[in-house]
A = this chain, B = another copy of it.
Amino acid sequence: MRTVTYGAACSLDGFIADSDGAVDWIHFSADVEQYMSEYWSTVDAVLMGRRTWEFAAAQGVGGEPGSEAGPAPEAGSLEGSGIPAVATYLFSRTLSQAPPGTELVSSDAVDFVKTLKRQPGKGICLMGGGELAGSLFEAGVIDQVSLNVHPVLLGSGVPFFRDLKGRIGLELTESRGLDGGCVLMVYRVRN
């Protein structure tokens, strides 16, 4: 079964972008790049909702795995960059046409992800900040949560976690400091 990871860089108060959409506070360093590179090597599919897609597209390609800092690399577009090509699934009930580099999913998101997880392949990255994560959490199809907590309070903005209907247990699998006062925390979801 493929693993679905929900991840992002976030502020200590849990925002992945400020109220103006700014992500200038995200710190890039050699150890973050190494972590990203290792993470992307385990992934061949990316999931995101329409709003997250629009936001990510506006930010440009690249950035933290699963974060607001950019959509996943388009298949075949980043040869030689060290970032593997991935399939990008864009969930929307309103779009009629898939933007370039994406596959449009207008069917039930939970059913789609359950089917995708059973197919052969590598890990699946769920982009942070969208409403999609809530329904996928509640359906028990998210396996891992990864946060790179930055030393800043943004005060308001795009929350990484939105209200869930119930409590979800986690198991800490990794925790370590990164350059710039960041703390990486990785959890297995107790589904």
Q: What residues of chain A have their CB less than 8 Å away from a CB belonging to chain B?
A: 12-14, 18, 25, 137, 145, 147, 149, 151-156, 161, 163-172, 175, 177, 181-183, 185, 187
| With known contacts A14-B13, A161-B13, A152–B175 Cβ distance under 8 A | no
Copies in the complex: 2
Closest chain B residue to A151 by CB distance? B170
Contact at A152–B177, with CB atoms within 8 Å?
no
Q: List 14 A-B contacts (CB under 8 A).
A: A12-B145, A12-B161, A13-B14, A13-B164, A14-B161, A25-B167, A137-B153, A149-B185, A151-B172, A152-B169, A153-B167, A154-B167, A155-B166, A175-B183
A132 to chain B, nearest CB (A): 16
- Other contacts beyond A13-B164, A153-B164, A170-B181: 12, CB < 8 A: A12-B185, A12-B187, A13-B14, A18-B167, A152-B168, A153-B168, A155-B164, A155-B166, A156-B163, A171-B181, A172-B181, A175-B177
Residues of B near A156 (CB, < 8 A) are 163-164
A114 to chain B, nearest CB (A): 20
Residues of B near A164 (CB, < 8 A) are 13, 153-156
Q: How far is the CA of A124 from the CA of B161 in the complex (A)?
A: 31
